[in-house]
Amino acid sequence: MVTEELIQRYYELALRSGSRDTTLSRFSTYNSTEDVVDSTKFNVPALIVWERDDSLISVDVAMLFDTALARATLVLYDKVGHMLMKEIRNRSAKDVSMFF
């Protein structure tokens, strides 16, 4: 669950020396490529957990993974943002445990 304390914690982490530069560097060095990945090489069960309300990475990306991976199980969480492990930690942990 997102609390005022959690918001404050992430705010303070963002203000730490070097945090802004590191974050900007991480996002600016993303390597988008046109190379096609042969998803048939990934013939193992895969669990895809995604948040419908993720404002950082669209749920469309989860759909791409689900389509590309033959043995994928897709679990979508409604009304959850980018941090499911913080927002719904018990529910998401249970889903991962059930998958394994």
What are the residue ranges spanned by the domains of the chain? Answer: 4-99
For CA atoms 4, 9, 13, 16, give the dihedral sign.
positive
Query: Do residues 79 and 53 lie in contact, with contact meaning Cβ atoms separated by under 8 Å?
Result: yes
pTM of the model: 0.68
pLDDT of residue 20: 82
Count of other CB atoms within 10 angstroms of residue 31:
5
Instruction: Give pLDDT tens digits for 38-97.
Output: 778 888 999 999 999 888 888 999 999 999 899 999 999 999 888 888 889 899 999 999
Residues in the chain: 100
Cα separation, 95 vs 99, in Å, equals 6
Cα separation, 16 vs 3, in Å, equals 20
- CATH tag for 4-99 (out of 3.40.1390.10, 3.40.50.1820, 3.90.650.10, 3.40.50.10860): 3.40.50.1820
Token couple for 62? 């989860």
For CA atoms 45, 59, 89, 20, give the dihedral sign.
positive
Cα separation, 70 vs 78, in Å, equals 24
pLDDT of residue 34: 61
Count of other CB atoms within 10 angstroms of residue 63:
14
pLDDT of residue 91: 93
